[in-house]
Amino acid sequence: MNKALIQILREFDITLVHPGRPLQYHSTFFVVQEGLEVYIKKRSRK
Amino acid sequence: MVRCKSLSKATWYFCSFELTWGISFAGSDSTASTMQSFFYLVLNNPAVYSNLKEEVDRAQKAGELSEIVTYAEALKLDYFQACLKEAMRVRPAVGLGIYRNVPPEGVEIDGKFYPGGTQVAVNGWVLHRDKTIFGDDVEVFRPERWFERDAKLMGSHLYQVRQSQKKEKGIHSNLLDSLVVAVIFALGVILPSLR
């Protein structure tokens, strides 16, 4: 996860489709979440 | 804050269910949930997102990131690590208490005695909002707290996984498939044509 997150942050610009909208979730043993919609755009390598 | 239970037959069934569940989904489900929390909190805080990109870009320019980023390289990005820990603090992926056995001779917690054979648990969503540990603004997603307060103390109060699971997570066997699943879960990717 550490590696993937950095990889994503380096390669893409990410914008929320619905800024401020709360995530939907239900709690079982794990908290299962949904509703995170984003636009992603490839960043140019500087 | 402490919940306890005695071991009964039903508990054992529950434990085996929990274990099976854990083995099948611990990789992808909790990772997806944590990544969603991470992006949700970071993207809703533009200042944090901008700091984070700055750190990644600086590391990239300094040649500190390989083409495929390694774990060791990711660990060196302090601000990123603070963001990840802060995301796990505010929205932990585990929603129930993780039970631990008290010692066979029993133990006293907060003035109450729990005999051997009892299991006790606290819930991460409560523990992570302990103001004596994390500061007065516990509801706020603020990675900076990890540089201002006792990070070691706060880290030891993150109630994400059991110690034994922490070790399992170090093994990368299921990492690739769990990551693919996690990325798809975490990011509701929308194609440009649909915008």
Give the pLDDT confidence score for residue B156 in this predicted structure.
87
Q: How confident is the model at residue B188 (pLDDT cuts 50, 70, 90)?
A: very low
Give the pLDDT confidence score for residue B93 in this predicted structure.
86
| Chain A interface includes B28 (CB < 8 A) | no
- B146-155, long-range: CB within 8 Å, 24+ apart, which pairs? B146/B81, B146/B82, B146/B85, B146/B86, B147/B78, B147/B82, B154/B85, B154/B89, B155/B85
Give the pLDDT confidence score for residue A46 in this predicted structure.
56
Angle between the A2-11 and B28-43 helix axes, to the nearest 10 degrees? 40
Contact in structure between B42 and B49 (CB atoms under 8 Å): yes
Angle between the B28-43 and B78-90 helix axes, to the nearest 10 degrees? 110
Which stretches within A1-46 are classed as H helix?
Answer: 2-11
Q: What is the pLDDT of residues B75-110, one digit of tens each?
A: 899 999 999 999 999 998 888 887 888 999 999 988
Task: Look at the block and give the residue holding tokens 């929308």.
Answer: B190
CA B170 to CA B27: how far, in whole Å? 11
Question: For residue B149, is pLDDT > 50?
Answer: yes
Domain spans of chain B? Answer: 2-194
Q: What is the pLDDT of residues B161-181, one digit of tens each?
A: 544 444 444 444 334 444 544
- Determine phi and psi for B25, rounding to 5 degrees: -120, -10
Q: How confident is the model at residue B159 (pLDDT cuts 50, 70, 90)?
A: confident
Hey, what CATH topology would domain B2-194 get?
Cytochrome p450 (1.10.630)
A-contacting residues in B 149-188 (Cβ below 8 Å):
179, 182-183, 186-188
Question: Is residue B122 helix, strand or coil?
Answer: coil
Nearest-Cα distance to chain B for A3, in Å, is: 5
Q: What is the pLDDT of residues B30-83, one digit of tens each?
A: 788 888 899 999 999 999 999 999 999 999 999 998 888 888 888 899 999 999
Give the pLDDT confidence score for residue B16 in this predicted structure.
47
Residue B167 CB partners (closer than 8 Å, separation 6+):
none
Question: For residue B125, is pLDDT > 70?
Answer: yes
Nearest-Cα distance to chain A for B104, in Å, is: 26
CA B173 to CA B186: how far, in whole Å? 21
Q: Which stretches in chain A have pLDDT values below 70? A: 45-46
Q: Between the ranges A6-15, B14-23, B155-164, where is the mean pLDDT highest?
A: A6-15
| Chain A interface includes B102 (CB < 8 A) | no
Partner residue facing A36 (CB), from B18, B71, B186 = B186
